[in-house]
Amino acid sequence: MSRLVTLLGATGSIGRSTRAVVAENPERLKIDVVVGGRDAAALARVAVETGARFAALADQAGGAALAEALAGTGIKCGAGRSAVLDAAAMPSDIVVSAISGAAGLEATFAALVAGRVIALANKESLVCAGAAVMARAHQVGARILPLDSEHNALFQVLGAEPIASVSKMTLTASGGPFRTWPAERIAAATPEQALAHPNYAMGAKITIDSASMMNKGLELIEARFLFGVEADQLDVLVHPQQIVHGLVTFRDGSVSAGMAVPDMRIAAAHCLGVDGRLDAPASRFLDLAMTAPLSFERPDLVRFPALRLALAALAASGAAPAILNAANEIAVEAFLAGRIGFPGIPALVEATCEALASGLAAPEDIAGALAVDHEARNHARLLLSQGRFAVT
């Protein structure tokens, strides 16, 4: 019998990778529930294409369009926050959590509370509420499988080793499209330039985060909670080829690398096939002779201040990661809308963190994390409205 998959963020980039893996394995996997954000037509297309039983759209106002597009198909649907949370908790064998941003936290948590196995791409859930999410996962015995490529590699390398055997975990970074650019050129970068990731076709938000290297900072925080390691056990290496995704250094000095071609269908296949590996087509197998040489370098925290800010939030812990994340989401949105320049992203994040970090307590639960997120967004919007980060 096929394993039933609930796909949160079904119309996005991870949604596409997941659907591709399911389509390659129709005898093993079946998409049963799909969730989208605002694009009713795209969600209806995905629901029909996958033969899902239920589709939920977050945007209440798009509910009528979704119902109309699905009329006569037999696919049930709903819209709004409660429809999304209901969908996330519906019976299934695995929930792929791939909504973009902190907007994915509540649905991820709903799936977790319902005891589902979660394939987690939505790193922001752990950045905003890592302690609460992991505590509840342990409490209900929910399995969280990392779908983010670096964490998936580290998870596979770790295998059954206890975390006490680990000395260091290294996440690799592409360095983004501005890896070799001087600071003055990065300062004038356009959204189009920042959206040109060297190796992956991803959603806009994570692609801008890769360009600023905030993505790697968020991933360090994600790893901290996911694996239960200390902040000073985590490290970043820039590796433009993105063949090595993560390295585990064990206490005895042994180092194991998690490797694969840079293709998110591989991490998706690992999560979806965790109880028995799926077969990939030959094109997805790594030929090191074709990809060599592989290079590694230290990240530059001066040209990429977003990574420095994330490292500070990782070390500070408490409410700092949630504040960092919320401010970054507002900043990325403003950059894409042409309201601020590329250096405005870390500048707005830093100003928001400085203003709020000492005043906000560590969130104890999801409601607390959402409250911090809300306050940090409001503060970042206020700073934006004062025009201090405007494009000149």
- Residues of this chain that bind ligand DXP (CB under 6 A): 148-150, 173-174, 176, 200, 206, 210, 215-216, 264
State in angstroms the smallest separation of the CB of 71 from ligand DXP.
37
Helices 214-227 and 320-336, interaxial angle, to 10°? 150
Query: Is residue 148 within the footprint of Mn ion (CB under 5 A)?
Result: yes
- What angle (nearest 5°) sits at the alpha carbon of residue 52, between those of residues 48 and 58? 90
In sign, the C-alpha dihedral spanning 9, 32, 219, 176 is negative
The answer to whether 227 and 131 have CB atoms below 8 angstroms apart is no
State in angstroms the smallest separation of the CB of 188 from ligand NDP.
25
Q: How far is CA 204 from CA 196, 200, 201, 209, in A?
A: 10, 11, 9, 9
Query: Is residue 111 within the footprint of ligand NDP (CB under 6 A)?
Result: no
On whether 216 is known to bind a ligand per the annotation, the reply is yes
CA atoms of 14 and 36, how far apart (whole Å)? 12
Using the minimum distance from each CB to ligand NDP, give the nearer residue, 12 or 346: 12
On whether 24 is known to bind a ligand per the annotation, the reply is no
Biggest CA–CA distance in the chain, Å, is: 62
The DSSP H or E segment spanning 34 is strand 29-36
State in angstroms the smallest separation of the CB of 319 from ligand DXP.
24
Query: Is residue 10 within the footprint of ligand NDP (CB under 6 A)?
Result: yes
CA atoms of 213 and 301, how far apart (whole Å)? 9
Residue 340 DSSP symbol:
B
The answer to whether 8 and 108 have CB atoms below 8 angstroms apart is yes
Using the minimum distance from each CB to ligand DXP, give the nearer residue, 30 or 179: 179
State in angstroms the smallest separation of the CB of 111 from ligand NDP.
13
* Torsion angle of C-alpha atoms 273, 274, 279, 281, degrees rounded to 10: 80
On whether 239 is known to bind a ligand per the annotation, the reply is no
Question: Peptide bond preceding 346: is omega within 30 degrees of 0, i.e. cis?
Answer: no
On whether 122 is known to bind a ligand per the annotation, the reply is yes
On whether 317 is known to bind a ligand per the annotation, the reply is no
State in angstroms the smallest separation of the CB of 260 from ligand DXP.
11
State in angstroms the smallest separation of the CB of 364 from Mn ion.
28
Residue of 149, 172, 207, 242 that binds Mn ion (CB under 5 A): 149
- When CB distances are held under 5 to 8 angstroms depending on the partner's kind, the choice from Mn ion, ligand NDP, ligand DXP, none that residue 210 binds is ligand DXP
State in angstroms the smallest separation of the CB of 338 from Mn ion.
27
- When CB distances are held under 5 to 8 angstroms depending on the partner's kind, the choice from Mn ion, ligand NDP, ligand DXP, none that residue 174 binds is ligand DXP
Q: How far is CA 156 from CA 1, 151, 163, 234, 296, in A?
A: 26, 8, 13, 17, 21
Query: Is residue 39 within the footprint of ligand NDP (CB under 6 A)?
Result: yes
Give the CB-nearest residue to ligand NDP: 12
- When CB distances are held under 5 to 8 angstroms depending on the partner's kind, the choice from ligand NDP, Mn ion, ligand DXP, none that residue 173 binds is ligand DXP
Contacts 24+ apart (CB under 8 A), 74-80: 75/47, 75/48, 77/47, 78/54
Query: Is residue 209 within the footprint of Mn ion (CB under 5 A)?
Result: no
**Which of 8, 289, 54, 30 has the alpha carbon at shortest distance from 147?**
8
Using the minimum distance from each CB to Mn ion, give the nearer residue, 264 or 323: 264
Query: Is residue 127 within the footprint of ligand NDP (CB under 6 A)?
Result: no
**Which of 240, 242, 241, 220 has the alpha carbon at shortest distance from 229?**
220
- When CB distances are held under 5 to 8 angstroms depending on the partner's kind, the choice from ligand DXP, Mn ion, ligand NDP, none that residue 170 binds is none
The answer to whether 121 and 97 have CB atoms below 8 angstroms apart is yes
On whether 215 is known to bind a ligand per the annotation, the reply is yes
The answer to whether 332 and 209 have CB atoms below 8 angstroms apart is yes
Q: Which two tokens stand for residue 270?
A: 């690992």
- When CB distances are held under 5 to 8 angstroms depending on the partner's kind, the choice from ligand NDP, ligand DXP, Mn ion, none that residue 346 binds is none
Query: Is residue 106 within the footprint of Mn ion (CB under 5 A)?
Result: no
On whether 375 is known to bind a ligand per the annotation, the reply is no
State in angstroms the smallest separation of the CB of 200 from ligand NDP.
5
Residue numbers belonging to the annotated binding site for 1-deoxy-D-xylulose 5-phosphate: 123, 149-150, 174, 197, 210, 215-216, 219
Applying CB under 6 A, which residues contact ligand NDP?
Answer: 9-15, 35-39, 58, 84, 98-100, 103, 121-124, 148-149, 200, 202-203, 206, 264
Applying CB under 5 A, which residues contact Mn ion?
Answer: 148-150
